[in-house]
Chains A and B, each alone.
Chain A
């Protein structure tokens, strides 16, 4: 796998920045977007396989965005990050295709681990790792 590209979608600039810094410090390439619509625009040009999506986005929410990403990319790893979590929300997240669910404030080590594991699996699935 040539480039380990991760997408972070969150309407809070500082949150995008801190996630980006943490992921980049571990060798990942990171693209960010403040809205679902901008994220979809980026995806027209870039092939991203690992996502961290805030659920409560202005305009299209994270659940809708996840559905669209999952439809076009069934093997992508998509993680929900939410400021206000409930058991109902977790069920909804699983239903629309999220792989995991993190409640803010999330330990950045967990995000990094999730990204690492995702790329390990992707490499195994696509035969780029033995």
Chain B
């Protein structure tokens, strides 16, 4: 027998009858195993967002507070997709506000069917997984672009410093002290260049890239730095 998939649902509902009914329906659903925790209209402090795959937020009784509560819940639950449940059909404008405030989907209480609820839960979880995967991919891409820029920028002065350090010892042996002094000045200047690069890195405030080689971009450290703070 195949094991049923397990999803952990945080059900935030001030309306106790609605909350208990939804919990009972989901908990007894045969094909999928739902672990449901029912809480009131606020998220308790002991809730760990990593412990949930989806949140159902009943905003039907919140009236004017609904968007504010939704934003607060989103702030706490962060990466958990939220399905808002309203009492009656809402205007498109209001639905947009719900989405902007952090809802991934919305359902209407008055004609809510179990199949519709489950479909919304599964869809929200899947959409969220895809979104999180994209976020991770984007983060990795940005990190690689930053790493590329750091390598590219720092390796230039590093090359000069390491190269001249290699050359300076024979100069000492030949007692070419003027030449040694010239090289030390070059090394000192290159160390200053490295410090400038590190300083720019600490002041990155925007994201701009430049083409490195064919098909590759690296972060444009110079253009991504807040010059006004220099």
Chain A residues engaging chain B, CB cutoff 8 angstroms? 12, 14-15, 18-19, 21-22, 25, 55-56, 61, 63, 83-86, 88-89, 92, 103-109
Contacts and interface: CB of A to CB of B under 8 A. Distances in A.
A83 B214 contact: no
Given A21-B167, A63-B214, A107 B162 contact: yes
B159 interface: yes
Given A14-B160, A18-B160, A92-B214, A83 B166 contact: no
Contacts, number: 72
A64 B38 CA distance: 64
Contact of A108 (B155, B158, B167, B186): B167
A18 B155 contact: no
17 contacts: A12-B160, A14-B157, A14-B186, A15-B163, A18-B160, A18-B163, A19-B163, A21-B163, A61-B213, A83-B152, A83-B156, A84-B218, A88-B216, A103-B155, A104-B159, A105-B162, A105-B163
Interface string B202-217: 0000000000111110
Scoring A21, A85, A106, A109 by chain B CB atoms within 10 A of each residue's CB, the highest score goes to A21
Interface string B160-190: 1111101100100000000000000010001
Contacts of B212: 56, 84
B158 A105 contact: yes
Given A14-B190, A105-B158, A55 B213 contact: yes
Nearest to A81: B159
